[in-house]
Amino acid sequence: MVLYAIQTNAISKNFDRVTAVKNVTISIKPGELFGLLGPNGAGKTTLINMLSTLMPPSSGGARVWDFDVVKDASFVRQSIGVVFQDSTLDYRLSGRENLDLQGRLYGLDSRFRKKRIEEVLTLVELTDRADSVVRTYSGGMLRRLEIARGFIHKPHVLFLDEPTLGLDPQTRTHIWEYIKTLTEEEGVTIVLTTHYMEEADHLCSRIAIIDHGEIVALDAPDALKNEVGGEVITLELEDSADIAGLCSVYKKNGYAKTVSLKKNELSIPVNDGERQIPHVLRLASSTGASIGSVSLHKPTLNDVFLHHTGRAIRDTEASETEHVRSRVQSKMRQQ
């Protein structure tokens, strides 16, 4: 077993005057589910393309399963699987035929190929539709088949480029479970690109936040969120409340000195917010303050991105969903 599934050393990619990836250095261990989180155009796909030997780096380098992505490109390709953003399935073939074709391309012998096809179909729950023509599949079924095809040859590393792009929330959640199963049952190292914060938070053991081609933060999801601060309880106070007196009470009772006030809203930094809310409300009641509403804010990966870049990750799901659907429909018409 190799020490690292993936290692990059200041890898960069330039297109004319545009730097798509800039000096990215990361190390990913075998069996890890590693996320690349960032908005569209951040450089995620370009980085995946270099690691999967689809394009050479402009400078720096990388090793995948201890093979150099430039000098040992053929060995890298034997060690990886890739699920692209755009569907590359043949819509005129059945699901089983698509998997069989992929197995043949990787040189799997007949007996192993048939056995492996049944295994991956079972894993992604497509056995009952295996012999249906792919053009009759739903969007979620297409993605499941793409994932099954990506690891049919038992790769050491699987790249998933926006695997749930354009899917509805329920289908997206199902895809998450299949991805988690891959690491748990197949032991595959997975590198997942996404701009969905909840996807990265739910799936990944570590996340690299990427913006304008650079890694701006890298750690476990909880560690990244703790970096930007803890939870905050916000009280909306009635106009008649003695706000200054209430602030003084909270500070005397061990709450942070950084209790902040904005108009009639009092924000109190806390740890373990759910357990602190009853105590916070009792203290307010003891002063006679009238509370209109109470809310608890927990830091998110969007807060982390905002902290490091000064802006939020734009959620373009609606427009992208329509874009993906139109691409799929166009491809089906062509075939």
| pLDDT given for residue 322 in this prediction | 46
Exposure class string for 298-320: b at 16+ Cβ within 10 A, else e: ebbbbbbbebbbeeebeeebeeb
| pLDDT given for residue 142 in this prediction | 95
Q: What is the DSSP string of 253-268?
A: TT--TT-EEETTEEEE
- CATH code of the domain made up of 6-222: 3.40.50.300
Residue 319 pLDDT exceeds 50: no
> What is the mean predicted confidence (pLDDT) over 40-56?
95
Residues 207, 212, 216, 220: what is their CA dihedral angle, to the nearest 10 degrees?
Answer: -10
Distances (CA, A) of 238 to 36, 188, 192, 230: 44, 55, 47, 26
The tokens for 10 are 């200041």
The tokens for 74 are 């053929």
* 260-262 and 18-24 strand pairing: unpaired
DSSP-assigned letter for residue 133: B
Looking at the chain, which residues constitute the CATH 3.40.50.300 domain(s)? 6-222
The tokens for 306 are 């905002």
Length of the chain: 335
pTM of the model: 0.82
The percent of residues in the chain predicted with pLDDT above 90, rounded, is 59
Residues 6 or more apart whose Cβ sits within 8 Å of residue 240: 290
Query: Averaging pLDDT over each range in 87-91, 163-167, 262-266, which range is the top one?
Result: 87-91
Residue 253 pLDDT exceeds 90: no
Looking at the chain, which residues constitute the CATH 3.30.70.260 domain(s)? 230-298
**Which amino acid would we find at residue 61?**
G
* pLDDT tens by residue, 91-114: 999 999 999 999 999 999 999 999
The tokens for 80 are 């990886």
* pLDDT tens by residue, 28-46: 999 999 999 999 889 999 9
* pLDDT tens by residue, 323-335: 444 554 554 455 5
Distances (CA, A) of 224 to 90, 212, 230, 299, 306: 41, 19, 11, 9, 12
Report the distance separating Cα 96 and Cα 101, nearest Å.
9
Domain 230-298 CATH assignment equals 3.40.50.300: no
